Structure formats: C-alpha cells, structure tokens
Structure 1
C-alpha cells in the first residue's frame, strides 16, 4: 500500500528553506546582493586575491561569496561590499496584505 504524502508548493526555493516569511525575505535579499557582487567581480576580471585586496577582506571571504555561503554574510556586510564595487542598493517596500484583508 502506497502512502500518500502531501506536497507543499512554494513561490521560491527560499520560501521552502526558511522557517518564517521574514527569514525567506532575508535570504532573497542576501542572494541578490551576493549574485550582483559576484557578477561585478567577474566583470572586472578580478581573481579572488585581487578582489579581497580591493574590497578589504580576506581571500577566503571572497571564496565564501563566490560559493554562495549566505549564512556567512549579513545584509549590512553585503551592502557595504556592493558599494565598494560601485553598486547602489535600492530598497523597495511592498505591502503584502491583500485588498480583502480586514483592517
């Protein structure tokens, strides 16, 4: 007899990984920042050593960034690194309540 397992659907992989909506949003933001910084480092053609020197961090820190180790970076740290590679971070706040939600 086969057991029936109910499968949940998630809007993103981060929604599936996170325990709370707030944690999911934090993961999404860190992922986007890391990707943008990583892309800029690649665009500049920097090795990990050069990137580390230019950004004022260690080479293992750049390795963590390039390998997507999100748990090792705060949003604040990533915003600072983004600025160092010439990126500006814009914040967009969206009200997630539905029109039909009670006041």
Structure 2
C-alpha cells in the first residue's frame, strides 16, 4: 500500500489551490472567533446575540463545523466578534 504524503491537512482535503486557500482562511477565522467567544466568558446564548447568530448556528460555530460557514459569513462574524459590544 502506497501512502500519499501531503504538506498540510488542507492540501489533503482540497482538490485545488483555491479550495485549499479558502479552507485555510475559513479555519483561521473560525479559530479567532472561537478564541474571542472563549475570552468573553459569557453564556452561549449571550454570545449568539453578540455575534448576530441564532443559538443553533452559534453551537455549530463553536463546535468547529467549518463546512456550515462560507468565507463571507465568517468574515462578517469575525467583525462582530472583534467589535466592542453595543450598549443595549
């Protein structure tokens, strides 16, 4: 049995360089969003409100379900995660 050797996990998963770049960008954003939410130290329901997401969508995000989020969506969520909370 011959095993293929890949430079990264994304190289193994992606069929094209563009797809690999998209996966890397999405995973990086997801990581930063999750770190921000952890730093907040607030309940998931409150984090969902701050991110502008539903609770189930926030659950998917925090569980790392990358396939459920487009690059565009993650950019928008990251902007919410790095903005100061609005006074309500």
Under TM normalisation by the shorter chain, which class is it?
0.7 to 0.9
Indicate yes or no: 2:29 matched with 1:44.
Answer: no
- 1:63 is aligned to 59
Which segments of 5 or more consecutive residues in structure 2 lack a partner in the other structure? 84-88
Moved over 6 A (4+): none
Alignment partners' CA distance in 1, 2:70 and 2:30:
10
8 Å contact from structure 2 (residues 51, 80) kept in 1: yes
Q: 1:76 aligns with which of 68, 72, 75?
A: 72
Figure out how many residues of one structure are paired with residues of the other and give that number: 83
Deviation, structure 1 residue 46: 2.3
- 2:86 is aligned to none
What is the CA RMSD across the aligned residues, in angstroms?
Answer: 1.2
Alignment partners' CA distance in 2, 1:41 and 1:51:
7
Deviations 1:5-56 (A, max 9, x none): 2211111111111122211111111000000000000001122211111111
Which segments of 5 or more consecutive residues in structure 1 lack a partner in the other structure? 88-103
TM-score, with normalisation over the residues of structure 1? 0.75
More helix by share: 2
Alignment partners' CA distance in 2, 1:14 and 1:47:
32
Indicate yes or no: 2:44 matched with 1:31.
Answer: no
Higher relative contact order (CA 8 A, sep 6+): 2
